Amino acid sequence: MPSTRFSPSHALRLAALALTLLLGACATTPRAPVPGSFVPREVIVDGAIHRYQVFVPSPDIRQRRPAVVLFLHGSGERGNDNRRQTEVGLGPYLRAHALDFPAIAVFPQAAEGTSWTGAQARAAMAALDDAVDKFGGDDDRILLTGLSRGGYGVYELALMEPRRFAALAPVCGGITQSPALKEHLQVESVAMAPDPFAAAAQRLERLPVWAFHGGKDDVITPDQSRHMVEALRRVGGNVRYTEFAEAGHNAWDSAYATPELWVWAFLQKR
């Protein structure tokens, strides 16, 4: 048989063809979606370092100025590991929706034995300001939400800075000490008022509120949310209330999985 010979020019043409085919294959291979992610950060308040986490939405869906969520955790997530506050409530929901959740979410962590008052409240607000500035959040679309002790914290921070937020979504929260709860827990800024629910409602009447509670909650009983909702309604407040009839203290999984909550939240403007 005659041998086959390739000229240098023929070899170059084959190499160019192979490269073209390779580039074409790369161009037609879809890029995997990039999920949103948690980023650790810290702020200094009153001379002390306070670490927090911020969820940054996927660049594939990110808006120019995304809405912002400030989340306040419950008693069991207190500490200084900068991790536990993302493991109960909103954090697991965001991990399950990391590709499509469009907002920045801020996760401060309160120290052991504290509530969302004083230095802890100031640290939460500093974390919010830092995240909005660093990641370009929309200052006029901030939802304040939290669960259990963090639900009380929602009212505490909103009373502290009522013009900072666009809306509130307290989950199994309250205003006064719940008889079933052994730990001290109340909204300190209205605790001495003759009617703490009425006092809080009068100061928050202009803020849209959507409260959630479990109908069988034996830790923070649902009358806490019921009384606050009624107080807001008496002053003409913009308030919604969802009570999950069969839920106990964990109303947060159902609350954050309510699609209408996020539609409502992202429509609110300060």
Residue-wise pLDDT for 78-93, tens only, equals: 999 999 999 999 999 9
| Section 212-225 average pLDDT | 97
| Section 54-59 average pLDDT | 96
Q: What is the pLDDT of residue 11?
A: 54
* Domain membership flag for residue 201: yes
As given in the structure block, the two tokens for residue 163 are 């013009």
Q: What is the pLDDT of residue 231?
A: 98
Judge contact between 79 and 112, C-beta under 8 A: yes
Instruction: Give per-residue pLDDT as tens, 5-22.
Output: 545 566 556 555 555 555
| Section 241-247 average pLDDT | 98
Q: What is the pLDDT of residue 6?
A: 47
Judge contact between 117 and 150, C-beta under 8 A: no
* Domain membership flag for residue 100: yes
Instruction: Give per-residue pLDDT as tens, 160-186.
Output: 999 999 999 999 999 999 888 888 999
* Domain membership flag for residue 225: yes
pTM for this prediction:
0.88
Which residue segment(s) compose the domain that 206 sits in? 37-267
The length of the chain in residues reads: 270
- DSSP conformational letter for 31: P
Burial (CB count within 10 angstroms: exposed 0-12, middle 13-18, buried 19+), residue 243: middle
As given in the structure block, the two tokens for residue 25 are 């294959």
> What percent of the chain is modeled with pLDDT above 70?
89
Alpha helices in the chain (DSSP H): 8-28, 90-96, 118-135, 149-160, 196-204, 223-234, 252-256, 259-267
> Is residue 28 scored above 70 in pLDDT?
no
- DSSP conformational letter for 113: T
User: How many whole angstroms separate alpha carbon 171 and alpha carbon 149?
Assistant: 9
Q: What are phi and psi of 261, to 5 degrees?
A: -60, -45
* Domain membership flag for residue 21: no
Q: What is the pLDDT of residue 143?
A: 98
> Is residue 243 scored above 50 in pLDDT?
yes
Structure-token match 């900068």, residue found: 82
* Domain membership flag for residue 23: no
> What percent of the chain is modeled with pLDDT above 90?
83
Q: What is the pLDDT of residue 9?
A: 60
* Domain membership flag for residue 32: no
* Domain membership flag for residue 203: yes
* Mean pLDDT rounded to a whole number for the chain: 92
Number of domains in the chain: 1
Q: What is the pLDDT of residue 182?
A: 84
User: How many whole angstroms separate alpha carbon 209 and alpha carbon 261?
Assistant: 11
As given in the structure block, the two tokens for residue 229 are 């909702």
Q: Cα 68 to the chain's mean position, in Å?
A: 8
CATH assignment of the domain containing 131: 3.40.50.1820
> Is residue 208 scored above 90 in pLDDT?
yes
Q: What is the pLDDT of residue 237?
A: 97
Grade residue 1 by pLDDT with cuts at 50, 70 and 90.
very low
* Domain membership flag for residue 235: yes
As given in the structure block, the two tokens for residue 123 are 């640290």
